């Protein structure tokens, strides 16, 4: 039986996620702003949660109806036999999002959804689930549009970017699924030299190393579907064992490199690589991006330079960008550089001409992924030589 799913993702990565889900066996794949709708059997929920590097969640559609007010919303949710999906002793959380919905209050809509689920349980079982907003067993998601409500059960639980490996972080680390999406857009593949010379806590290096190891991103965590009534433990064990069996051994020589000026950041990156069980796939060292040498004659540089909101930070970064551009021209001829930033001054100040500018969002922050083909010296110098 074909079920319908929706996988939200960081905005700008919808096409990459659609391709990934299609490769996992999804059908009727449709990218929309903020995510991807798709079809497949129940087993696809297992695979997508285990294997997707870009999705934020895998939501399973369990209902939908016309919805122009709170009464119709309550009726739509109450009409679902929730006892077929999870037990009454599971704790519950409800999340409601809206796009041009006529309902005036999302808070009140959330309350009506919770009441509808609990009232249906009380009518069927004589008891109702308890609410737990922090660590619920089951999450119900409702999306309200102009004239309809779509009702989902969350099969993921914690967001999928929480791989289970992160131990140490810098402030505001890059989310894991966004880092995986950057690698996808940059078309990096194992075996090609990769460098992140401003690695922070090492998210890009860890995600690349997991791809190189063919290690499924969900191998070290649990999922929401394990609390649903259709969960098949033996089938899940077979799937995860097959994923473990395919993990590659470390290469003889690493092709993934990361560095940072901060020794504290280097230690965090090394700890995160170890926690992800891919430490042997990447080399991390302390180095200044402005002076470190390229680890190979050609390769892919992918990094998330720091960008600040305080005035002093902005001034320091305005001074950094031209020096960074000079360092790339001097030491990385033959490389392609991808720089992901929320500071849109970078393209003007770095002194390099972007080949591409890909709009992306890091949460609510509008960002760009700039790509540069690096040639030795300046373009003006080459034109006059």
Q: Check whether residue 300 and residue 373 sit in a common domain.
A: yes
Domain assignment of residue 160, yes or no: no
Number of domains in the chain: 2
Using a cut of 0.85, tell me whether the model's pTM lies above it: yes
Q: Are residues 363 and 258 in the same domain?
A: yes
For residue 382, the tally of other CB atoms under 10 A from its CB is 10
- The span from the CA of 380 to the CA of 209, in Å, is 37
| Averaged pLDDT score across all residues of the chain | 94
Lowest mean pLDDT among 166-170, 235-239, 305-309, 351-355: 166-170
48 and 85, same domain (yes or no)? yes
Phi, psi of 56 (to 5 degrees): -90, -35
317/267: higher pLDDT: 267
Question: Which CATH number belongs to the domain containing residue 14 in this structure?
Answer: 3.30.2130.30
Residue 148 and residue 186 in one domain? no
Average pLDDT over residues 354-362: 96
Backbone angles phi, psi at 38, to 5 degrees: -160, 165
In this prediction, residue 169 has a pLDDT band, given cuts at 50, 70 and 90, of low
Q: Judge if 206 and 100 occupy the same domain.
A: no
CA distances from 223 to 195, 238, 240 (A): 32, 16, 12
Q: Is residue 238 part of a domain?
A: no
Chain CA centroid to CA 329, Å: 31
Residues 177-194: what's their mean pLDDT? 98
Pairing of strands 148-154, 365-373: unpaired
pLDDT per residue as tens digits for the range 283-312: 999 999 999 999 999 999 999 998 765 556
Same domain, 12 and 102: yes
Residue-level pLDDT at 384: 40
Bridge partners of 337? 301, 372
Output the CA–CA distances (angstroms, integers) from residue 200 to 17, 74, 153, 289, in the order listed.
Answer: 25, 46, 35, 12
Same domain, 261 and 124: no
- Pull the structure tokens for residue 79: 């009409």
For residue range 86-134, list pLDDT tens digits in order.
999 999 999 999 998 999 899 999 999 999 999 999 999 999 999 999 9
Q: How many of the other CB atoms lie within 10 Å of CB of 264?
A: 12
Residues 183 and 147 in one domain: no
Are the beta carbons of 11 and 48 closer than 8 angstroms?
no
Contact 322, 349 (CB under 8 A): yes
Q: Does 233 reside within a domain?
A: no
Task: Report pLDDT digits (tens) over 17-37.
Answer: 999 999 999 999 999 999 999
Residue 257, pLDDT above cutoff 60: yes
Quick one: 27 and 136 in the same domain? Answer: yes
Query: How do residues 324-341 score in pLDDT, each as one tens digit?
Result: 999 999 999 999 999 999
For residue 175, pLDDT beyond 50: yes
CA distance 347 to 322: 10
pLDDT score for 23: 97
- Parent domain of 99: 3-154
Q: Clarify whether residues 115 and 185 are in a common domain.
A: no
User: How many Cα atoms within 13 Å fall on the side-chain side of residue 98?
Assistant: 17
Q: What is the DSSP letter of 245?
A: H
Q: Are residues 316 and 349 in the same domain?
A: yes
């Amino acid at each position: 039986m074909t079920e319908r799913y929706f996988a939200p993702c960081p905005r700008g990565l919808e096409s990459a996620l659609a391709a990934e889900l299609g490769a996992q066996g999804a059908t009727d794949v449709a990218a929309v702003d903020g995510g991807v709708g798709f079809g497949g059997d129940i087993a696809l929920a297992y695979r997508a949660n285990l294997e997707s590097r870009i999705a934020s969640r895998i939501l399973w559609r369990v209902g939908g109806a016309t919805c122009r007010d709170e009464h119709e919303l309550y009726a739509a949710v109450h009409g679902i036999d929730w006892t077929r999906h999870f037990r009454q002793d599971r704790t519950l959380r409800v999340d409601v999002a809206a796009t041009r919905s006529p309902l005036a209050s999302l808070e009140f809509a959330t309350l009506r959804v919770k009441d509808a689920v609990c009232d249906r349980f009380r009518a069927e079982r004589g008891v109702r689930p308890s609410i737990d907003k922090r660590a619920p067993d089951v999450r119900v998601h409702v999306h309200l549009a102009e004239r309809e409500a779509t009702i989902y059960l969350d099969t993921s639980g914690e967001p999928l970017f929480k791989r289970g490996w992160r131990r140490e972080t810098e402030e505001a680390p890059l989310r894991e699924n966004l880092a995986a999406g950057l690698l996808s857009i940059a078309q990096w593949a194992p075996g090609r030299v990769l460098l992140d010379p401003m690695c922070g806590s090492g998210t890009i290096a860890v995600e690349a190393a997991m791809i190189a190891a063919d290690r499924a991103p969900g191998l070290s965590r649990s999922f929401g579907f394990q609390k649903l009534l259709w969960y098949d433990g033996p089938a899940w064990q077979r799937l995860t064992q097959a994923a473990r069996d395919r993990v590659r051994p470390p290469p003889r020589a690493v092709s993934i490199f990361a560095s940072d000026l901060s020794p504290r950041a280097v230690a965090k990156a090394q700890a995160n690589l170890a926690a992800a069980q891919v430490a042997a796939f990447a080399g991390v060292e302390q180095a200044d991006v402005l002076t470190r040498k390229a680890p190979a004659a050609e390769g892919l540089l992918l990094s998330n330079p720091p960008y600040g909101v305080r005035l002093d930070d902005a001034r320091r970064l305005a001074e950094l960008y031209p020096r960074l551009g000079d360092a790339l021209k001097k030491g990385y001829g033959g490389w392609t550089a991808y720089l992901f930033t929320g500071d849109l001054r970078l393209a003007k100040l770095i002194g390099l001409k972007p080949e591409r500018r890909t709009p992306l969002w890091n949460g609510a922050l509008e960002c760009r992924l700039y790509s540069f083909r690096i040639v030795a010296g300046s373009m003006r110098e080459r034109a006059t030589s």
